[in-house]
Amino acid sequence: MKNRASCILVALLPLLLLLSGCEEPKPQGFGALLGQDEQGFTKVTANRNIEFPRDHQAHKDFRYEWWYVTANLENSAGDTFGVQWTQFRIALAPEEPQNIEKQEANWNSTQIYMAHIAITMPTLHLTEEKWSRAHPKMAGVTERPFRVYLDDWQWNSESDGMFPATLSVAADTFSYELSLSSESAFQLQGDNGYSVKSADGRVASHYYSQPFIDVTGSIQVEGQTHQVTGQAWIDREWSSRFLLGSQQGWDWFALRLDTDTSLVVFQLRDNQTGEANYAYGRLMYRDREGITISADELSLKVKTYTDLNGHPHPTSWQLDIPTHELFLTIDAINPNAKMPLTVPYWEGPVHIKGSHEGLGYMELTGY
């Protein structure tokens, strides 16, 4: 939720508060962290219209935000690569809008940026993480041209729009430089971009996606350079509160059913039973309006768990949506694709088969 990333962001809050010199809170798990009051920050409302290119930019009056890219790529030999790049923005405290830019220029910002990158192959999963306070020379988001950056991990657009763009990162164990293009309309999740996260509607986000991104470029890993092509997906989401205290995490799926059709599905789990207490889906088309899928249309069941350091993670699923004749088995390409970062979570490419065959991405949090 890819919405999803809020769990990671809020779980990092104790460390962030230490970095800011504030007293560390004493949370009692993911639910307590995600259920924190958003007092002082801007709240998500159903009547706010998402506009482009305005909403590609940072929304610094909200507590949390991210630019989240996943890609399924292939070289000429047929080797597959999953690629992730995510830049998170976290506001440590509410600030008056007129003060934020001045604070960033003076290295006194309450805005923190964190970035995650990964490359996943069937038998290899490499990840890195970076942090920075917001500052024009270190980390931030610019308007003309549109740019999202933390040090030398960067999304660089050619205009104030999102595409065309170059995504480039360099780490000790891998690097990639990818050219991204898309001519499809952005997909507004939920109700015109207002994405509810609980059955009672108490928490929500502003959320849009572009699941139809064409990719060309190069990946350097294990001493080799691979020329790659494929498809990418970006999620943009921001809010000041994502989950109820009763919700422990989520299971999120971004699936490409064919060249012109994608499917997003996510469910949020109860922290007592581990069962889903809210679910959402949307079919998205390259050249026309998407279709929202209600929770009662979805059946999402675990087929196989993978034990990762004593924690079972569901890495194979059966997803059925009979109203749209979708019957899909979802299997992790690398079941060991856990992100061993400040707060660990699972993220990696998947293969789908059944009524449709294709590739996608899965994220699991709270396990």
The predicted-structure confidence for 280-294, as pLDDT tens digits, reads as follows: 999 999 998 899 999
Which fold, 6-44+52-364?
A: AttH-like fold (2.40.370)
Q: What is the pTM of this model?
A: 0.91
* Whole-number pLDDT of residue 103: 76
Distance CA 38, CA 206 (A): 15
Whether the Cβ atoms of residue 344 and residue 116 lie closer than 8 Å to each other:
no
What is the pLDDT confidence band of residue 34, given thresholds at 50, 70 and 90? very low
Tens digit of pLDDT for each residue in 131-182?
999 999 999 999 999 999 999 999 999 999 999 999 999 999 999 999 999 9
Torsion of CA 76, 120, 140, 94, to 10 degrees: 150
Task: Give the DSSP letter string of 74-127.
Answer: EETT--EEEEEEEEEEEESS---HHHHHHHHHTT--SEEEEEEEEEEETTEEEE
Cβ 349 vs Cβ 238: under 8 Å: no
Q: What is the pLDDT of residue 37?
A: 64
C-alpha angle with apex 217: 86 to 353, nearest 5 degrees? 70
Please say if the pLDDT value at position 279 is more than 80: yes
Provide the H-helix boundaries in 142-193: none
Name the band, by pLDDT with cuts 50, 70 and 90, for residue 33: very low
Q: Is the pLDDT of residue 7 over 60?
A: no
**89 pLDDT band (50/70/90 cuts)?**
very high
pLDDT grade for 19, boundaries at 50, 70 and 90: very low
All structural domains of the chain with their residue ranges: 6-44+52-364
